[in-house]
Amino acid sequence: MGSDVARDGLFLELWDRPSNELALWAFFSDADGSFEVTRYRADVPPEVEAWFQAEARRRLPPVANAEPGAAADGGGT
């Protein structure tokens, strides 16, 4: 997971460890709220792609009404 300053958003990657190749990439745009997934390998099983998309949608969009410095999961000290 990382920040793409040039595109103004956040991304999540899924790498195939044995081949060290990027398999899936998801991007959430802070600018317009769009979400996209790019497939780099044709052999990604459908259930893995579905899990990745769900995980990306869960992790990438900003938390609504969060205060600066607040934990994303609502927890705190």
Looking at residue 77, its pLDDT comes to: 36
Place of tokens 């769009």: 34
Structural domain range at position 23 = 2-59
**75 falls within a domain:** no
**28 falls within a domain:** yes
**69 falls within a domain:** no
Q: Which residue has the higher pLDDT, 40 or 4?
A: 40
- How many Å apart are CA 69 and CA 67, to the nearest integer? 6
- How many domains in the chain? 1
- In a 10 Å sphere around its CB, with 0-12 CB exposed, 13-18 middle and 19+ buried, how is residue 12 labelled? buried
**Angle, CA of 36, 43 and 27, to the nearest 5°:** 15
**49 falls within a domain:** yes
Q: Is pTM beyond 0.85 here?
A: no
- How many Å apart are CA 46 and CA 62, to the nearest integer? 26
**76 falls within a domain:** no
**77 falls within a domain:** no
